[in-house]
Amino acid sequence: MNSYQTQVAVIGASLGGVMAAWQSCRQGVKTILVSEYHWLGGQMTSQGVPPDEHRFIESFGASKSYYAFRKAIREHYQAQPDFVDNSSLTEGLNPGDGWVSRLCFEPKVAEDYFRDLLQPFVEQGLLVLLERHRLSSVQCQQDRITAVEVQCPQGKAVSLMADVYLDATDTGELLKQANMPYALGKESRDEFNEPQTPETADPMDQQPVTWVMALRKYPGKAPAIAKPPAYDFWRDYHLPGYDYPIFSEKLPGGEPFGHITLPLFGQGETLDLWRYRRVIAAKNWRSDKQDVSLINWAQNDYALEPYLDNPDFSEEELAERARQLSLCLLYWLQNEAPRHSVCEAGFGFPELGLAPDVTGTEDGLAQQLYIRESRRIKGLETLTLCDIQADGNSDSNPLRATNSVGIGLYNMDIHPTCRSQMGANARVRPFELPLGIFIPKTITNLLPACKNLSVTHLVGAVTRVHPVEWLVGEVAGLIAAYSISQGKTPADIHSDPRQVTQLQQLLEVQGIPLHWPDNNAFSRYEE
């Protein structure tokens, strides 16, 4: 078996994993990044999800490197000779003119950016990129990880020995294989006294997963797909507690178990499903391009069974079921969806078809399942909804933390979950991330670097989005590097105010914002 000795091992090339490896290498720390999929960048690339961003993002509220990335994406499109900015649904140059974000773009553009970001460290010998490898086993001794084993698709194993290990998987797989305590699903009301929590904890009440697909609006008839075997089931399926079929123009919203209606296609300022996550807008190109939208809708959320730690089905089986749901949705769109949103009678949009060139796959579905909820560390501190819930007068009164290592903000966005089917979309106040939510109570040389912070199920619905995961990865990489430089564990640093201050100084130098501005700054940018 081949083996590597390194200082930092980042397991998972998620969005957080890429940024963790980048910041670690910037500190001169020898790093290994393990990537399971063809594209680096997780939800932004291989999962096919355009950025979900908070309402202040054009002005403030993310790390320096995230703003450099946003600027580079816009410059990439501006440099294309046939591109013209006719975006109208959001402020700022928006290549896809989608309305989920002020910046919707093709996933491959981001993947190219990440490759360019890491390549200098590969050339310097600071970074080893192990591609097409996945975690297979973990060895621990007392309170430390001593080695992890990863395997390539052919089964060849590689052993990694590091000073610090970062779990940057989208599922918290390293936490599980290290046999450390972790949280999953919903906590009980007694545990943190959060509203909207059940009397009894339910690890199986998880957010749904989605297999995103890229659809192009072809100028004529698109390649049709065969009727999937599960189509009749999904066409007639009603989400429990909701009074409409999942394949419709309705989706959860408003009051608990209520719904809103969005047309499949809209014009002008009318919000619609097609333009929700559109990443190529034909109107933004002088050349002959067609609209492409990444389909990550409520209509293809898979919530029949929980994805993680399911006692009855493997992750591979559940991922395939989610994949089939997306294909069933496509078949409905091509054949049975009503055409009234385009002011026509009849059914079916045969002009909609898969766009493999956008996903980097043979079939036009994303390379990886989109996973909203991860296993979460049980840390020295836990961020709860009671901490970040908006007060009665304002949702712009930030949560402050004296040991802050970053900031975050997004709506508490919970898709109807797998057991209670309860969904939510509520504003929270801007919050600061205390150092203790990065540090497990048990394993001393492991840090979370993706969606696996010490937060509750409800708060995880806020911290899972792109700018926060990006920052989490950066912070994890910098904590790891600082820990190594000081010869101390992250827990030792947490307990020493002088060390916390020095770590905060490093974070600020590296472009991590530690604090939100005061309320007056928010009021100037309120929508």
- 478-500 confidence digits (pLDDT tens): 999 999 999 999 999 999 999 99
Task: Please state, rounded to an integer, the average pLDDT across all residues of the chain.
Answer: 95
Question: Are 168 and 10 a contacting pair, CB within 8 Å?
Answer: yes
Question: Are 81 and 91 a contacting pair, CB within 8 Å?
Answer: no
Q: What is the pLDDT of residues 42-75, one digit of tens each?
A: 999 999 999 999 999 999 999 999 999 999 999 9
CA 78 to chain centre: 26
Over pLDDT 90: what percentage of the chain? 91
- Using CA atoms, how far residue 86 sits from 94, 219, 288, in Å, is 9, 20, 15
Backbone dihedral angles phi then psi of residue 73, each to the nearest 5 degrees: -65, -45
- 3-state SS, one letter per residue, for 130-157: EECCEEEEEEEECCEEEEEEEECCCCCE
Question: Are 253 and 329 a contacting pair, CB within 8 Å?
Answer: no
Confidence category of residue 394, pLDDT binned at 50, 70, 90 = low
Judged by average pLDDT, the poorest of 193-197, 326-330, 390-394 is 390-394
Q: What is the pLDDT of residues 135-188, one digit of tens each?
A: 999 999 999 999 999 999 888 999 999 999 999 999 999 999 999 999 999 999
Confidence category of residue 524, pLDDT binned at 50, 70, 90 = low
Over pLDDT 70: what percentage of the chain? 98
Mean pLDDT of 514-522: 79
pLDDT of residue 7: 98
pLDDT of residue 527: 46
pLDDT of residue 526: 54
Residue 408: its H or E element: strand 404-408
pLDDT of residue 390: 86
pLDDT of residue 149: 98
Confidence category of residue 396, pLDDT binned at 50, 70, 90 = confident
Mean pLDDT of 297-316: 98
pLDDT of residue 153: 86
* Per-residue buried b or exposed e for 7-44, using 16+ beta carbons within 10 Å of the residue's own CB: bbbbbbbbbbbbbbbbbbbbbebbbbbbbbbebbbbbb
Q: What CATH number has the domain spanning 2-189+372-524?
A: 3.50.50.60
Mean pLDDT of 252-264: 89
**Confidence check: pLDDT of 523 > 60:** no
- Residues of CATH 3.50.50.60 domain(s) within the chain? 2-189+372-524
pLDDT of residue 238: 94
**Confidence check: pLDDT of 525 > 90:** no
pLDDT of residue 476: 98
Question: Are 297 and 276 a contacting pair, CB within 8 Å?
Answer: yes
pLDDT of residue 91: 85
Mean pLDDT of 298-306: 98
pLDDT of residue 480: 98
Rg (CA), the chain: 22
CA 348 to chain centre: 31
**Confidence check: pLDDT of 221 > 60:** yes
Mean pLDDT of 94-112: 97
Rounded to 10 degrees, the C-alpha dihedral 358/359/364/366 comes to -150
Confidence category of residue 520, pLDDT binned at 50, 70, 90 = low
